[in-house]
A and B are shown apart, each in its own frame.
Chain A
Amino acid sequence: MFKIFINPGQFTKFADFIFKPLVSLSIISLLIGLIFIFFISPDDYQQGSTVKIMYVHVPAAWLSLLTFFIMTIYSIVALAFKIPFGFIINTAVAPIGAVFTLICLITGSLWGKPMWGTWWVWDARLTSVFILFLIYLIIIFLRHSFTNLEVGEKITALFIIIGSINLPIIKFSVDWWNTLHQPASISKFSSPSIDPAMLWPLIIMTISFSLIGLLLAIVRIKSEILDRKQLL
């Protein structure tokens, strides 16, 4: 059971097994989420219908952080225990995280124009997420700038471990500094300060976003494994 996370062969078998259910589940959850957003969830009394940007913005932000966290864990595991599957994961997952971060930034600035009056402000949360996007880009570039594949992977894993300093800064930036960006509405330790009518669509959209991300990741990891088999 545990081997599917570190063994390419086992992972491919398991991925083939869950691929079709995953596709149908992600389509169903995305449809339910979209129906909830457009027809059932209410407008905000201050923000009007722009509040519906939240259902794309928040899941994309969470998933960009989650992707980097997974990459950090796999880099540490791959470097410490010499498991090359971690490098495969890093190569495959980095562009997905970059796209999620870009979606988060674009929807955020689309939301910021009607609410805050500007497309962009240099406050702590926005700047740190922008730096996260740059780190994703550098990870992709660094991987491709070495002629020796093995060296490139190891150096990239080291860079990911150093770059993970940014994760706690993003998470706590709204608590440490007085920012224009609001603090987190949903936390684990207290009851959420968001109405259930808006919480449920958010949860469904988060689930469907993570399913879609997982789907893309599986496709990319499988193609990466096939690539490396050809190199041997």
Chain B
Amino acid sequence: MLIFRSIISIFLREYLITFRNFYNVLTVIVFFILGVLIFVFAIGPDKAIYSQIGIGIIWTLILLSTNLSLKKLYQDDFNDGNLILFYISGISLELIVIIKIITAWVFFQLPFLIIIPIVCLILNVTTDKIILLILTFIISSPILTALSSISGSMNLLNNKNFAIGSVIIILFSIPIIIFSVNIINSTTVLVTPQLNILLGILMLFLAITPWISATCIKIAIRNK
């Protein structure tokens, strides 16, 4: 019972932190919209182009905004000593990583579900593609959160190279982007197998991420 109470208290803590800094989440969404605007300025206002490449633009910007919001997933907790308290609290670090991933997904990724259909309408994407896009977003965004958890925990003690965390996220997100964009642009026969592959990648990352992140956090705590 004690474990459940501590899990719930960690959830509440994350909720409070996110709710008090709610402008953080809103800023990331504004970044997403501004990115779309920049693409429109860079390519031109021709609507026929956007029905072809709109999905690619949206996925690129989702990736970049995930990068922006979740790159320092553990950094604040590590700097003010909260991770050490989690480490000695009796709950395993792997479980804490899972909780952090779930909360980060709920608070930083789910708000995109509201804004994605609006952006799709602006970019002239058809309705059946919007439904597929939301489906792939629900499957793929936990993978992106898991990737940022990996890179965030890897770079806890990194104080020289500020860009390498984003590079790691973008490198490992290549297969996700390939399948997510291909599903929407391919024929109806090929949708289900590619969705299955994406689900497989999700299961793989949910399985390996807690171990990798917990190992990296342990290395960082012991060498602080």
Pair from one complex: yes
Contact A135-B158, Cβ < 8 Å, known A151-B220, A158-B215: no
Which chain A residues lie closer than 8 Å to B220 at the CB level?
Answer: 151
A148 to B161, CA, bound (A): 13
Which chain A residues lie closer than 8 Å to B168 at the CB level?
Answer: 138, 159
Q: Does A145 belong to the interface (CB within 8 Å)? A: yes
Which chain B residues lie closer than 8 Å to A148 at the CB level?
Answer: 157, 223
Contact A138-B164, Cβ < 8 Å, known A131-B171, A146-B157, A158-B154: yes
- Assess the A159–B154 pair: CB atoms within 8 A: yes
A211 to B155, CA, bound (A): 36
- Assess the A147–B160 pair: CB atoms within 8 A: yes
Flag A135-170 by CB within 8 Å of B: 1 or 0 each: 100100110111110110011001100100000000
Report the minimal beta-carbon distance from B46 to chain A, rounded to whole angstroms.
24
Q: Does B19 belong to the interface (CB within 8 Å)? A: no
Which chain B residues lie closer than 8 Å to A158 at the CB level?
Answer: 154, 212, 215-216
The answer, among B160, B161, B172, for a CB contact under 8 Å with A162, is: B172
Q: Does B150 belong to the interface (CB within 8 Å)? A: yes
The answer, among A145, A150, A162, for a CB contact under 8 Å with B158, is: A145
Interface residues on B, range: 20 to 34
Report the minimal beta-carbon distance from B166 to chain A, rounded to whole angstroms.
11
Which chain A residues lie closer than 8 Å to B158 at the CB level?
Answer: 145-146
Q: Does A53 belong to the interface (CB within 8 Å)? A: no
Flag A86-113 by CB within 8 Å of B: 1 or 0 each: 0000000000000000000000000000
Flag B137-176 by CB within 8 Å of A: 1 or 0 each: 0000000000000100011011111001001100110100
A145 to B157, CA, bound (A): 9
Report the minimal beta-carbon distance from A79 to chain B, rounded to whole angstroms.
8
Which chain B residues lie closer than 8 Å to A144 at the CB level?
Answer: 160-161
5 inter-chain pairs at a CB distance below 8 angstroms, sorted by A residue, are A138-B164, A146-B160, A150-B223, A158-B154, A158-B215
Interface residues of chain B, those whose CB is within 8 Å of chain A, are: 150, 154-155, 157-161, 164, 167-168, 171-172, 174, 208, 212, 215-216, 219-220, 223
For the A-B complex with A151-B219, A155-B154 known, give 13 more contacts whose Cβ atoms are closer than 8 Å.
A131-B171, A131-B174, A134-B171, A141-B164, A142-B154, A145-B155, A145-B161, A146-B158, A146-B160, A151-B157, A159-B168, A162-B172, A162-B208
